[in-house]
Structure 1
Amino acid sequence: MLRRNFVKSTLGLAGATLAAGSAATGSPAKNTFKLKYAPHFGMFKNTAGDDLVDQLKFMADQGFTALEDNGMMGRPVDVQEKLAKEMDRLGIQMGVFVVDKGGNGANSLAAGKQEYIDIFLNGCKKAVEVAKRVNAKWMTVVPGDFERRLPIGVQTGHVIDALRRGSEILEPHGLTMVLEPLSDTPNLFLRTSDQTYEICRGVNSPACKILFDIYHMQKNEGHIIPHIDWTWSEIAYFQIGDNPGRKEPTTGEINYKNIFKYIYDRSKKEGKEFIMGMEHGNFYPGKDGETSLIKAYVESDSFAV
C-alpha cells in the first residue's frame, strides 16, 4: 500500500474508533494494550492541551498505563507532587526520569576523576528524593564520553567503580539506575547492549541494570531480538523509537510487532513486566498526527498471544 493511502486509512480507522467510543459512552474508546507503553508530556498536547494533568488524563483515556518524563527531576517539588497524585488516581505508573548530571560529556565517569564521581553521587542522592515523591523505581544514567587518553579496560573499571557507589545509594531504597547505551555521537562511552551487560555484571547490584533503547540499538548494533535475548537478565526497562527518524512504530524499518511479541511472550513466561518508554517524536503533525500515533501502537500491539 502506498504510504499516503496507508496514512489516510490509518487516520480514518482511528477516527472511526474514537467516534464510536464517543457515541456509546460520551468519551473516546479506551484501548487495552498488552504491554505497558509509556508516553511523555508533549506527545498529545495538540489534543489534550498544555496542562500536564490534562495530558495525563488523555493518556489514561487512551489506555496508556505508564508515563516517562526525562525532565521530572528538574520540575518544582509542588509540580512533582501534583503529578504523582494524579498518576496514582489514574492508575498510571511512573517510568524513568534522568538523573541530573548523572554522567555526561562534561563529567564522564570513564575518566575516574573524583570531582566527576562526586557530581554523579550527588545526583543519585537527589534522585532518591524525587523517586519517593513521584513513586518512581527507575532512573536513567549515561556514563558520559570516552576518556581517550586511557585504555578502554581502565575506563570500564572506572565506570564500574562509580556505578557501584551509586548503587550503594539507590539499592537500600529499592531503586534502580538503568544504563542507556546511545547512538547520538561516537564520543559516548556506552554504545552497545553487550558492553552495558558486561558493566552491569561487574557492578553486580539490582540497582544497576540496562535500559534497552531499541532505536539506539538498531543504529549501533542491529540484530535486535538476539541482543535482547543475550542481555535479558540485566534488562530492566525498554524504550521505543523507529529508525530512521526516531518516531512511532510503523514509520521506519523496525518490525515492532515482532519485537513486542517476543518481549510479551518471554515476560509472561517468566512473570516479569516492563515499562516500554515511548521516547520518540510524532511522525505526523497536529491532532491527526496524535491520532495516527495511537493507531500505530494499537497496530503494533495486535500480535497474537
Structure 2
Amino acid sequence: MERRKFIQKGALTGSFLGLGIAGIHAMNNVVRDSAFAKADTEPHTFNLNYAPHIGMFKELAGENVINQLNFMADQGFTAFEDNEMRSRPIAEQEAMAEVMRRRGLTMGVFVAHKIHWTKPNLASGNQEWRDEFLADIKSSIEVAKRVNAKWMTVVPGHVDLRQNIDFQTANVVESLRQASALLEPHGIVMVLEPLNFRNHPGLFLSKSPQAYQICKAVNSPSCKILFDIYHQQIQEGNLIPNIEQCWDEIAYFQIGDNPGRNEPTSGEINYKNVFKYIHSRGFKGVLGMEHGNSIEGKEGEQRVIDAYVESDRFL
C-alpha cells in the first residue's frame, strides 16, 4: 500500500482560503458537536507521543480538520503528523497550528520536498535536481515555522542505475550537507526515511544501516533517521537490535503493523515490546501513526484507539 493511498487529506482545505486571523480564532473557538467529541473510551494517558493523522478518525470526529485535531487531544494523544501540511493553504496551516498550541499537540513530520519515486534525483548528483530539492527545503522551513514543526521527512528518490552505489551515496551526502546548512540555524531536523523494497521498489534508501552511515557522513544535528517500523520489519526485521544500533541517529519513529500496514495488534509485530524498548531509552520524540485502519467506519477508528491503549500498557 502506497502512503498516498491511505493518508487522507482534509476535506475543507478550500474553506480556509481568505480567512483572516479573526476568522481563524473564531473557527478554533467553535463549540464542537458532542457527537464528534467522544469515542467509546475515556481519554488515556499514553507513555509515548503517538501521532495520528488527518482522516484517521474522520467518522468519529467529522470531516473538519479542526474537529479531528480536537478529537485526537480529547482521546489523550499528545502529537500529530501530516504528510500533506506543506501543500495546505497558509490559513489552514495557521488554524491547525493554533489548535495544536492550545491543546498541547506536538507537530510531527510533514514531507519536506517533492519525492521522486522513479527518478534518481539526489543519487544522480544532477545539479538541477539538487537545486529543486534545496528550494523545497527552503520553502518547507517557512511551513515548519508556521506550524511549530521540528521534523520534516526526506526521501532521496530512486537509485541511479548508471552509477556505482558509492558514487550515488556521495551525491546524496553532499545534497544533505547543503540542506543541513539551511536547516541548522532554525533548529529543524530532516529525517531520512528508508522505505521497503516491496512497496517502493528501486528506491536508493531502503535500510537502517544505510541511513545510519549517511547520517554519520553528513554529521549534522539537522540530518537524522526516521525509523519506520513497518518498512524495516519488511526490509530487515530484527527490529529492536537494529533500533539499538541506530539509536544515536534516530530522531523520529513511524508505526504500522505487517502485513497490511494498519494499527498495532493487527499483524505480526509485537508493538508492546517495541514500545517498551523505545520508552526504556528515554525517547521523548514523536511516533507517527502512519498507517491505515484495519476495519472501516467508527468501529475501526475505535479499534485503532483501543489498539494503542493496549500496546501502550508495557510498564
TM-score (norm 1): 0.88
Cα displacement (A) at 1:104? 4.3
Q: Is the 8 A contact 1:102 1:120 kept in 2?
A: no
Cα displacement (A) at 1:105? 2.9
Q: SS in structure 2 opposite 1:238?
A: strand
Q: What's 1:19 paired with?
A: none
C-alpha distance in structure 2 between counterparts of 1:102 and 1:171, whole Å: 22
Decide which of 261, 267, 292 is 2:303's aligned counterpart. 292
Q: SS in structure 2 opposite 1:302?
A: coil
Q: What's 1:10 paired with?
A: none
Q: Is the 8 A contact 1:283 1:289 kept in 2?
A: yes
Cα displacement (A) at 1:202? 0.3
Decide which of 208, 217, 220 is 1:202's aligned counterpart. 217
Q: What's 2:286 paired with?
A: 275
Q: What's 1:15 paired with?
A: none
Q: Does 1:256 align with 2:271?
A: yes
C-alpha distance in structure 1 between counterparts of 2:224 and 2:117, whole Å: 18
Cα displacement (A) at 1:83? 0.3
Which letter maps to 1:294?
A: I
Q: SS in structure 1 opposite 2:281?
A: helix
Q: Does 1:238 align with 2:247?
A: no
Q: SS in structure 1 opposite 2:43?
A: coil
Decide which of 46, 64, 84 is 1:51's aligned counterpart. 64
Superposed CA deviations along residues 95-147 of structure 1, whole A, max 9, x for unmatched, are 00001215543352000000110010001100100000000000000000000
Cα displacement (A) at 1:243? 0.2
Runs (5+) with no aligned partner, structure 2: 1-34
Q: Is the 8 A contact 1:213 1:240 kept in 2?
A: yes
Q: Is the 8 A contact 2:120 2:160 kept in 1?
A: no
Identity fraction in percent:
58
Q: SS in structure 2 opposite 1:276?
A: strand
Q: What's 1:121 paired with?
A: 134
**1:165-184 alignment runs, 5 A limit:** 165-183=178-196, 184=199
Which letter maps to 1:229?
A: E
C-alpha distance in structure 1 between counterparts of 2:43 and 2:258, whole Å: 28
C-alpha distance in structure 2 between counterparts of 1:250 and 1:275, whole Å: 20
**1:134-213 alignment runs, 5 A limit:** 134-183=147-196, 184-213=199-228
Q: SS in structure 2 opposite 1:281?
A: coil
Tell me: CA distance 1:50–1:224, structure 2 relative to 1, closer, same or farther (3 Å). same
C-alpha distance in structure 2 between counterparts of 1:43 and 1:235, whole Å: 25
Q: What's 2:104 paired with?
A: 91
Range moving further from structure 2, 99-108 or 243-252: 99-108
Tell me: CA distance 1:242–1:41, structure 2 relative to 1, closer, same or farther (3 Å). same
Q: Is the 8 A contact 1:197 1:231 kept in 2?
A: yes
C-alpha distance in structure 2 between counterparts of 1:32 and 1:274, whole Å: 16
Q: What's 1:224 paired with?
A: 239
Superposed CA deviations along residues 264-301 of structure 1, whole A, max 9, x for unmatched, are 0111xxxx412000000000110011111100000000
Tell me: CA distance 1:111–1:26, structure 2 relative to 1, closer, same or farther (3 Å). closer
Which letter maps to 1:255?
A: N
Q: Is the 8 A contact 2:255 2:287 kept in 1?
A: yes
Cα displacement (A) at 1:27? 9.4
C-alpha distance in structure 2 between counterparts of 1:120 and 1:287, whole Å: 39
Q: Is the 8 A contact 1:80 1:134 kept in 2?
A: yes
Runs (5+) with no aligned partner, structure 1: 1-21
Q: Is the 8 A contact 2:39 2:302 kept in 1?
A: no
Decide which of 299, 302, 305 is 2:313's aligned counterpart. 302
TM-score (norm 2): 0.86
Cα displacement (A) at 1:28? 5.5
Cα displacement (A) at 1:185? 2.2
Q: What's 1:32 paired with?
A: 45
Q: What's 1:17 paired with?
A: none
C-alpha distance in structure 2 between counterparts of 1:107 and 1:87, whole Å: 36
